Structure 1
Amino acid sequence: MNENVYNKKTKTIVLTLLFLTWIVNYMDKNSMNVAIISISKQFHLNPTQSGMIISSFFLAYAIMQLIGGWLTDKYGSKKIILISLIVWSIFTIFTGFAWSFLSLIIIRFLFGIGEGSFPSASSVALAENFPKEQRGRAKGLLSAATQIGAITASIVAALMISKVGWNVMFYVFGGLGFIFLLLLWKYLPERTQLNRNQEKPKVSYINVLKNPLAWKLMLIYFGMSMVNWGLSSWLPSYWVNVRHLALVKTGLISMLPIAFSLLAIALSSWAIDKIAAGKEKYIIIIGSLIGIISLYLTMGAASVPMALTFLCMAYFGVGLTSVVLALPLKYFSQESMGTTVGIMYFGGQMAGTIAPTLMGYTITIFNGSYSGAFTLLILSLVIPIVTSLFLKTNSNSTQIKGSNAA
């Protein structure tokens, strides 16, 4: 497809709006990882209970990945993005009103229901407005937005909690979501005329489930997400409880590893569009190996600077594996895009459900030591390596439909 048939202004608007909305999304989501320190003290929670609060969001988030992807294929990206943003913004505000452990579990579960359709819908919005040869870089930019959102959440959340408390922080973040709701409603285009003219019958959900490539992508994303969500959930507590840093300083120190992740995402996204199409599995394997070595070294780090250095390396390695997020946009057909992305993200969010609680449990049984938690993350990165050995993509092939890909 000649990229000139895609409107340049529309592409810019879509990418800018989605980039900023992903930042807000991660601020709403990741701020809990900082707030849980104060919440745990206020409600007298142990590490396992704290992990359960974080995991309750991801359980709902994972469930909605499968449903949200199918809904996006059926109704288009804009409708699903707007509905998702309304619901998650409401429950971000409600989080500030939480009064107990149980209320937090319920509110964060409903919050996850709201956010769960957004990843698939945003990927479909890219596919609706970008030619295939540009989608790797476009998706890479959105992946970068998640890291910027994580950085922003760490810093802003730490500052706001110190100044006005965790309750007010969630009120403010929820209000910000409604501002972006209005912007997306006004400026995000419906399905482009190009896509209306080319629209084909949707591939059935069952046929997508039969596609082995979809399941391989899910497994790869599960492994890397165990590390991403495990670290983002427990690193603030690690810096405070193990390395004895002040809360605000944890927000500042968290910037550097994420910056290395951003660098890796940028490099890998450029590579798969320019020089490494069809060879994505090698990037995933190399990134996973870097992550394994770096996390092992982090466990034995003798000082804060050494631990920070090794964590930067770990984030760089896992950042390279984020190329998996662009593969559905490059190797699956338009009509099955949302469903396929939903299956892949289901694996990632199941990791988000498992990692915080399981890491909290290992921290509890090891009497506050994080060695068991880091070992869990190391083992998780074996999954992308093994799965990638069986991953087959072909940059010269047509986009994959139904269940004919391995």
Structure 2
Amino acid sequence: MDESAYNKKTKTIVLVLLFLTWIVNYLDKNSMNIAIVAISKEFQLNPTQSGMVISSFFLAYAIMQLIGGWLTDKHGARKVILVSLLVWSAFTVFTGFAWSFASLLVIRFLFGIGEGSFPSASSVALAETFPKEERARAKGVLTSATAIGAIVASLLAALMIKHVGWNVMFYFFGVLGFLFFLLLWKYLLPPGQSAQVKRPQVSMKKVLKNPLAWKLMLIYFGISMVNWGLSSWMPSYWINVRHIELVKTGMISIIPVVFSLIAINSSSWLMDKMGAGKEKFIIATGSLIGIISLFLMMNASSVTMAVTFLCLANFGMGLSAVVLAMPLKYFSQEAMGSTVGIMYFGGQIAGTIAPTLLGYMITLFNGSYDAAFTLLIIALVIPLITCFFLRLQQTQNEKGEKVA
């Protein structure tokens, strides 16, 4: 696309709408983590059944990362985003109408099918809207929305469930999604292009054969193991090990997110300013900070020091999250969706296994969290090692070696 096609107004509108849509995405997704308590009581679900309800979403969500990326390359970001948003909003509303354990499993699985295409499609939308030298910063803004969305979802869901009930909460969040569907339908158009533009054919086989795509997936897998592991088990760690009250754990959880947001946007800015191939040093630095900080956190002598080291660990994870912007810089636009889908697939696989695996480690060692945290430290070795095998001298397009 010609650089003149990019204009400030379009970039601002698209970035703001995608940022807010990511927050809606997390409202619909993370609110179930809060609502499952009330739902379990109403439907008399045991802990295993409650876990299955949550896992049914992640299973579908992981599967759709690969499919959604391929669909985005084939049909374009706009179409996939609109269909994804429409489907997940519909099943968010349907969640409020659930009447049994079986209905919850089916509805949340289909909800995951709907949401699963959005991550890849939103990344491609940025590539269609921003020039290469600005894409990392734009991706950093969207990555920030996931952290902000998780906090907003937890706080808003708790308030709504308390005052209006979980059913009404899901109705409201679903209707909010329909509103953003209308906004994106009107404003999300690639600059200088029509919605009916013919797209090049994409060879998924060539994408799957590209070693860089799988290296990025490994890096994101290791980072996601830590992110999902900490988000799942830190609340119980504060309560059971550090003996902090439940209300205070909610306040504590906000502080590390601030450090993560600072690191995410800082690393994205650095990526746009640094030369090709230097991103691996950001990933390595972030991983090393995370490894050291997690070790110090699990051995901290006080709550204050534990929180401090957790903040540093989140800062490291935020630096390493620059990997999410790398496909926008190093892959041809025709195959970008499929590449991002492979990377996000690794992240969702980590999200599926990390909470269960850490729980097993805690049970195995009689309530001690040391083994679980050690597992997270080992997980960070994966991106630390993998990043040094990245060969990133110039973009695929500059080399004339498109992956599709």
Q: TM-score, normalised by structure 1?
A: 0.89
Residue 28 of structure 1: SS of its match in structure 2?
helix
Instruction: Work out whether 1:76 is the aligned partner of 2:76.
Output: yes
Mapped contact 2:5–2:192 kept (Cα < 8 A): no
The residue type equivalent to 1:84 in the other structure is: S
Deviation at 1:286, TM superposition (A): 1.1
Secondary structure in 2 matching 1:193: coil
Aligned residues of 1:55 and 1:352 also touching (Cα < 8 A) = no
Q: Could you report, residue by residue, the CA deviation over 1:205-224 in whole angstroms, capped at 9, with x for unpaired residues?
A: 10111111011011111111
Cα 1:374–1:28 shift into 2, 3 Å: farther
Separation in structure 2 between the aligned mates of residue 86 and residue 206 of structure 1, nearest angstrom: 29
Aligned residue for 1:61? 61
1:51/1:391 Cα in 2 relative to 1: closer, same or farther (>3 Å)?
farther
User: What residue number does 2:348 align with?
Assistant: 349
Task: From the superposition, tell whether residues 60 and 196 of structure 1 become closer, same or farther in structure 2 (CA, over 3 Å).
Answer: closer
More off after superposition, 329-338 vs 360-369: 360-369
Shift of 1:41: 6.3
Contact 2:139-2:324 within 8 A present in 1 as well? yes
Aligned partner letter, 1:33 = N
Partner of residue 14, structure 1: 14
After TM superposition, the structure 1 = structure 2 runs for residues 74-113 of structure 1, keeping only pairs within 5 Å, are 74-98=74-98, 102-113=102-113
* Aligned sequence identity (%): 71
Distance 1:241 1:28, change over 3 A: farther
Kindly state the Cα deviation for residue 98 of structure 1 after the two structures are TM-superposed.
Answer: 4.4
| Whole-Å separation in 2 of the counterparts to 1:39 and 1:363 | 26
Per-residue deviation, residues 68-117 of structure 1 (Å, max 9, x unmatched): 11111111111111111122122223334445555444333222111100
Distance 1:36 1:374, change over 3 A: farther
**Which letter maps to 1:280?**
E
Deviates more, 1:19-28 or 1:350-359: 350-359
Query: How big is the shift at 1:299?
Result: 2.3
Partner of 1:172: 172
2:267 alignment partner in structure 1 = 268
Which deviates more from structure 2 when the two are superposed, residues 96-105 or residues 259-268? Answer: 96-105
Matched, 1:340 2:339: yes
Match status 1:157 vs 2:157:
yes
When the two structures are aligned, how many residues end up with a matched partner?
402
Pairwise CA RMSD: 2.7
**CA distance in 2 between partners of 1:376 and 1:50 (Å):** 25
- Residues 202 and 247 from structure 1, CA distance in 2 versus in 1: closer, same or farther, beyond 3 angstroms? farther
| Deviation of the 1:380 alpha carbon | 1.3
The answer to whether the Cα contact below 8 Å between 2:126 and 2:138 also exists between their aligned partners in 1 is yes
Q: Is residue 2:27 matched to residue 1:27?
A: yes
SS of the residue corresponding to residue 277 of structure 2 reads coil
**Equivalence for 1:128:** 128
Tell me the residue number matched to 1:289: 288
Helix, strand or coil at the partner of 2:389: coil
TM-score by length of 2: 0.90
Alignment CA distance shift 1:314-1:177 (3 Å):
same
Determine if contact 2:77/2:121 at 8 Å carries over to the other structure: yes
- The answer to whether the 8 Å contact 1:34/1:236 transfers is no
1:367 and 1:399, CA in 2 relative to 1: closer, same or farther beyond 3 A?
farther
CA distance in 1 between partners of 2:359 and 2:188 (Å): 40
Structure with higher RCO (Cα < 8 A, 6+ apart): 1
Determine helix, strand or coil for the equivalent of 2:393: coil
Once residues 116 and 145 of structure 2 are traced to their aligned partners in structure 1, the CA distance between those partners, rounded to angstroms, is 17
Secondary structure, aligned partner of 1:254? helix
CA distance in 2, matches of 1:52, 1:373: 22
The 3-state SS of whatever aligns with 2:391 is coil
Greater CA deviation, 251-260 or 16-25?
251-260
The aligned amino acid for 2:154 is S
Contact 1:95 / 1:167 at 8 angstroms: preserved in 2? yes
Say whether residues 1:377 and 2:364 are aligned partners: no
**Segment drifting more, 222-231 vs 60-69:** 222-231
Distance in 2 between the 1:37 and 1:315 partners? 27
Alpha carbons of structure 1 residues 91 and 298: separation in structure 2 relative to 1, 3 Å:
farther
